[in-house]
Amino acid sequence: MFGLIKNKIKSFAKSIEDKLKTKEPEPAEEVEEVVTELEEKATAKEAEEQPQKPAKTEAILEKKKPKEAKEKPAEKPLEKPAQFKAPAQEPKQESVLAEPEAQRPKLEDAKAKLAKQKTRAQAAKAEKPKEVTKEKVGLLTKLKKTVVGTVSLSSSELDQFLLDLEFSMLEADVAADSAEKVVSLLRDKFSKAKFKRNEDISQKVMELFRESLSELFQQNKAFDILAKTQTARPLKILMLGPNGVGKTTTIGKVTKMFQNQGKKVVFAAADTWRAASIEQLEEHANRLGVKVIKHAYGADPTAVAFDAVKHAEAHNVDVVIIDTAGRQETNVNLVEQLRKINRVIQPDLRLFIGEGIVGNAILEQIKAYKETIGLDGVILTKMDLDNKGGTVLSVLMEDVPVLYFGVGQGYDDLIPFSKEFLLEKMLS
């Protein structure tokens, strides 16, 4: 079921996936934080290492200084060779002082050379961690852009995709108002969405669809009609809808639901206009063990419904289900009969029975009944068939709660409204 709209959604998801795969990724915020943290740690480590290295070099120099101090006294014996060369002459004070002065440039050169070696060693050691740090950070930067980076749709791209989807939904018999509502929800979701390059983009798109449709389905104010028997006795239910939609069969399904709760039910054959309508209702009544209150064909439908209510009150019956003829707006007499039944009987529930496969045509039917007598709920039949899927979305926008889905021909084939059921059928 929901074949067309399901295919449209999947096609839309695939087109977005293809588009996003070709876009340049944006850096992911989480990875940006990791890279920044690593860069800060590397910088701090480098700052800690720099003052330590000169300290080591200074320690080496300190060790060498005592040696130099020892060498200075050793320079004094240089005076002796002068004494041996000229024993007849006394050495002048100037010559004794001049020779140490001559050795000082050599000592200064040695210190300068040692300082240069220290600077070179320090620079060489300092360069290695920088290269490693840059290499690590560079690798992470590439990873964050190509592996865990994110992509998103631009405003113009999103507008085009949503426009295409809206047309597709209209083709799937979704009413214009419903299509606009879905598109609005999707626009909000997709405008905030970020897609990671290493995730299943198609699955992510379908999840956004699921969230949007789920929000739409949550607006349906479904209720349990079984609980109504606690506040109304007998509970009077007026069944409405066009001919041929499975209204009589649905009456049998609702009856079985009440019987499973131990409730007694009576039928009112108030469709005195359509041929064989009474016999059709009696067939279901015989299968379910239910009494039928009937009059002759052509009788006043209001009188039949009134007698059924009196019978229920007299025989302690819990529920009265009133079958009615299918009405058309052009048939003034049938419309007036319906208004009369509603006015005299004052039903507790007015339920519209319609096919889930007719598309937007059901909206006109619902609007007609709302304007005539009002509606309390909708039951959609034939939901087990392969339909386009747009009917249920359209009905949800009519501000009338969808209560049940008919999903087969058996009496137990009536399920309460479930958004999980719809999501599974639309997106599976």
Residues in the chain: 428
Cα separation, 284 vs 67, in Å, equals 120
pLDDT, residue 79, reads: 47
| CA R_g for the chain | 46
Mean pLDDT, rounded, for 352-378: 89
Q: The domain 225-427 is classified under which CATH number: 3.20.20.150, 3.40.50.150, 3.40.50.300, 1.10.10.10?
A: 3.40.50.300
Chain segment 165-200, per-residue pLDDT in tens: 888 888 877 888 888 888 898 898 888 888 776 778
Domain with CATH 3.40.50.300 in the chain: 225-427
Read off the DSSP letter of residue 76. Answer: G
Confidence of residue 2 (pLDDT cuts 50, 70, 90): low
Domain with CATH 1.20.120.140 in the chain: 3-25+151-217
Q: Could you tell me which residue, 402 or 388, shows the higher pLDDT? A: 402
pLDDT, residue 361, reads: 80
Confidence of residue 96 (pLDDT cuts 50, 70, 90): very low
Chain segment 116-173, per-residue pLDDT in tens: 666 665 665 555 444 444 444 454 444 344 444 577 778 888 888 888 888 888 887 7
**pTM of structure:** 0.69
pLDDT of residue 238 exceeding 90, the answer is: yes
Q: Under CATH, what is the fold of the domain 3-25+151-217?
A: Four Helix Bundle (Hemerythrin (Met), subunit A) (1.20.120)
Backbone angles phi, psi at 381, to 5 degrees: -100, 170
Buried/exposed 6-28: b ≥16 CB within 10 Å, e otherwise? bebbbebbeebbebbeebebeeb
| pLDDT mean across residues, the chain | 78
289 alpha-carbon distance from chain centroid: 48
pLDDT, residue 105, reads: 56
pLDDT, residue 312, reads: 98
